[in-house]
Structure 1
Amino acid sequence: MEMNNLQNQQFLIDLAKMKMPFGKYKGRFLIDLPEYYIVWYKTKGFPNGKLGKQMELVYELQLNGLEDVIRKIKRDFT
């Protein structure tokens, strides 16, 4: 299933607003999680569902130095 532009935009906005719901970093915005923690999840396996998809995107953004894209959205929408 391919996402359209509005779904993509909403996914990015949701990611910008999403906080870690459990664990050591509970309450911290996903985009602000330490890189080592996201890499650990990459090797362990991301959670199922939307949270896992969001964390996987955070991994890709951190890998490519693009976290500021989400931080800008966070400033604009939170």
Structure 2
Amino acid sequence: MHAEDLELLVTREMPFGKHKGTLIADLPGNYLNWFAREGFPQGEIGRLLALMQEMDHNGLRTLLTPLRKPKA
């Protein structure tokens, strides 16, 4: 993991599937767990999904709160 990956979790949107357009950090745990069971995609998106699944599984989602941009 790179430190920049944490910022990407709160800025990168899911590019495909049922939750297309949802921030990676906002994807539901059951969706992340499905990827963990079935296999993460290749590349950056797969790395970010795996990281978010690990954070969700370990109850660490709140660590991303300070990285979120304030809503205007």
Choose which of 54, 65, 71 in structure 2 pairs with 1:71.
65
Q: What is the match of residue 29 of structure 1? A: 23
TM-score, normalization by structure 2: 0.86
Q: Which runs of 5+ in 2 are unaligned?
A: none
Structure 1 stretches of 4+ with a deviation exceeding 2 A read: none
May I ask how many residue pairs the two structures share in their alignment? 70
RMSD over aligned CA atoms reads: 1.5
Unpaired runs of 5+ residues, structure 1, are: none
TM-score, structure 1 length as denominator? 0.80
| Structure having the higher Rg | 1
Percent identity among equivalent residues?
A: 36
Please identify which structure carries the higher helix content: 1
Q: Which residue number in structure 1 is paired with residue 3 of structure 2? A: 9
